[in-house]
Amino acid sequence: MALDWQVFCQDTIERTVVAGCFGTGGARGTQTYLDWLIAAWGQTVLVSALSLVVALVVGSIIGTIRTLPESPLLVRIGNVWVEFFRNIPLLVQLFLWYHVVPVLFPFFADTPKLALVVTALGLFTSARIAEQVRAGVQALPRGQRYAGMALGFTTPQYYRYVLLPMAFRIIVPPLTSEAMNIFKNSSVAFAVSITELTFFAQQAGEETARGIEIYLAVTALYVVSAFAINRVMAVIEKRARVPGFVASTGGGH
Amino acid sequence: MLDFSVFTPEVFKAYILQGLYFSFLLTLVATLGGIVFGTALALLRLSGVKALELVAATYVNGMRSIPLLMVLLWFFLMVPFIIGRPIGAELTAVITFIAFEAAYFSEIVRAGIQSIPRGQVYAGQALGMSYGQNMRLVILPQAFRNMIPVFLTQTIILFQDTSLVYIITAHDLLHGFTVAGNNLSRPRESYILAAVLYFVICFSLSWTVKRVQQKVAIIR
């Protein structure tokens, strides 16, 4: 079967081939499938990036409080958080945020769709990042904590200046896989009609009956993006490395 | 505001049970298939033959860099095209999950094999064992024992991922809850119950894994 790449130059409404192919819409408000593909990629990147920020912030907080000495209540809250978000499938969590939360809690009634998706994906991933952060802090020799205490640091101070800077360096490899996971997991947003890559693949594949070409393009974008994230994280890992301290946890990536 | 009263045991039996059965079946078949094909892929990657290593590595890395949802779409499109007739969403889901999970299980098996001390390999060779004998009698039995907890954890993730067959509308557990919610006009209650059921299943499984982990650890 011959591949027909011209499908990407078709208008999404009239299905006629548009000269110039890319960025020719505007006045008549039309777009080609190529325009749509790039826009969908943008949505995937947007959802993933925002979710990653949410996940990193929340995950770091939850992970940190799970390592606090002499605060059994906070540790317990952290554990419940992780178990809750880890043991329900992402798609079900997304439906809870999208269909249930805005009705039960009027506060969320006017929250935009994108924000609900970002919350769902961000909190789901926060549980996994919390697990990494906890492991990172606990991997440090106990003497580091005591050294901080002995210098007269308060608990927030020795976390800020002693424990967390090393812990985060140790967990860069697992965080790399989480960043790549979040990019792949953002595909569930299709289920609430966010026009990201997977939604585009399904929709455009059906409309044009050129599924193979459409899927190939989408798959290529996913692979390229995953590779790009991997490289960026490798640079961060290299830049952040403390001279003389080999933090190899053996992540296979 | 929430009304769970319509969700009687009869409703559960009519809408949910079949989906639950399919989700469990899919998990089981994909785990077993994933382990078999994953082990084969791992052995290819460690075979020392450059061409085989390249093929296996490309397959594994390719599968691992695209979302499961895209893989499901691919198989849903291509399988009927290749075998010449439609086979239904459920069978497509089974084939896709085996192919997809094989990539993840192969990484687990590879790490497991590599965690066996080199001395074990040399000891086998010194006894005059062939590559196959060494793998089958010395390396793999120890490696699999080390891998059991990771296998089980992966199986829990797999069970959660079965909900993604939503994209090809296969009739799994989540599908059962969606249909029940729509038919009884209680979609919100239905999603909450779905979350509770998934949580109970996954939480008890992961609790069991922790127990198993303590039991099977090899004491050296």
Asked whether the predicted pLDDT for residue A11 surpasses 60, the reply is yes
Q: What is the pLDDT of residues A106-164, one digit of tens each?
A: 898 888 999 999 999 999 999 999 999 999 999 999 999 999 999 999 999 999 999 99
Asked whether the predicted pLDDT for residue A54 surpasses 90, the reply is yes
Closest chain A residue to B62, measured at CA:
A223
What is the separation of C-alpha B43 from the centre of its chain, rounded to a whole number of angstroms? 19
Q: What is the pLDDT of residue A187?
A: 96
Q: What is the pLDDT of residues A157-174, one digit of tens each?
A: 999 999 999 999 989 989
Residue A45 belongs to domain spanning: 37-195+233-240
| pTM across the whole model | 0.90
> In total, how many domains does chain A have?
1
**Does the CB of A222 have a partner CB in chain B at under 8 Å?**
yes
Instruction: Give the one of B67, B192, B198 whose C-beta lies nearest to A184's C-beta.
Output: B67
| Residue A143 belongs to some domain of the structure | yes
Amino acid of residue A239: R
Closest chain B residue to A190, measured at CA:
B167
Closest chain A residue to B65, measured at CA:
A223
Buried b (16+ CB within 10 A) or exposed e, B41-69: bbbbbbeeeeeeeeebeebbeebbbbbbb
List per-residue pLDDT tens for chain B, 220 residues long.
788 988 889 988 999 999 999 999 999 999 999 999 999 999 999 888 999 999 999 999 999 999 999 999 999 999 998 988 888 999 999 999 999 999 999 999 999 999 899 999 999 999 999 989 999 999 999 999 888 888 999 999 999 999 999 999 999 999 999 999 999 999 999 999 999 999 999 999 999 988 888 887 765 5
Identify the band that residue A31 occupies on the pLDDT scale cut at 50, 70 and 90.
confident
What is the separation of C-alpha A201 from the centre of its chain, rounded to a whole number of angstroms? 20
Q: Which chain B residues contact residue A179 at CB under 8 A?
A: none
Q: Which of A88, A125, A182 to mutate to test the interface with B (most CBs of B within 10 A)?
A: A88
Q: What is the pLDDT of residue A191?
A: 94
**Does the CB of A184 have a partner CB in chain B at under 8 Å?**
yes
Q: What is the pLDDT of residues A207-235, one digit of tens each?
A: 988 889 999 999 999 999 999 999 999 99
Asked whether the predicted pLDDT for residue A189 surpasses 90, the reply is yes
Mean model confidence pLDDT for chain A: 90
| Residue A12 belongs to some domain of the structure | no
CB contact under 8 A, B202 and A88: yes
Q: CB under 8 Å, gap of 24 or more: what pairs does B72-80 form?
A: B72/B96, B72/B164, B72/B165, B72/B167, B72/B168, B73/A198, B73/A201, B73/A202, B73/A205, B73/A211, B73/A215, B73/B167, B73/B168, B74/A215, B74/A219, B75/B99, B76/B168, B77/A205, B77/A211, B77/A212, B77/A215, B78/A212
**Mean pLDDT along residues A14-29:** 70
CB contact under 8 A, A191 and B166: yes
Question: What percentage of residues in chain A have a pLDDT greater than 70?
Answer: 93
Q: What is the pLDDT of residue A195?
A: 93
**Does the CB of A150 have a partner CB in chain B at under 8 Å?**
no
Q: What is the pLDDT of residue A248?
A: 47
Tokens of B77: 């499109």
| Residue A151 belongs to some domain of the structure | yes
Q: ipTM of the predicted structure?
A: 0.91
CATH code for the domain defined by B24-169? 1.10.3720.10
Instruction: Give the one of A84, A188, A219 whose C-beta lies nearest to B66's C-beta.
Output: A219
**Mean pLDDT along residues A60-75:** 93
**A 49-88 → B contacts, CB under 8 A:** 83-84, 86-88
Considering only CB atoms, which residues of chain B are within 8 Å of chain A? 1-2, 62, 65-70, 73-74, 77-78, 107, 111, 160-161, 163-164, 166-167, 174, 187-188, 191-192, 194-195, 198-199, 202-203, 206
| Residue A205 belongs to some domain of the structure | no
Q: Which chain A residues contact residue B164 at CB under 8 A?
A: 89, 91, 188
Identify the band that residue A48 occupies on the pLDDT scale cut at 50, 70 and 90.
very high
What is the separation of C-alpha A21 from the centre of its chain, rounded to a whole number of angstroms? 31
**Mean pLDDT along residues A189-217:** 93
| Residue A222 belongs to some domain of the structure | no
**For residues B163 and B71, is the Cβ–Cβ distance under 8 A?**
no
| Residue A214 belongs to some domain of the structure | no
Asked whether the predicted pLDDT for residue A19 surpasses 80, the reply is no
Distance CA B68, CA B62 (A): 11
CATH number of the domain where residue A164 is located: 1.10.3720.10
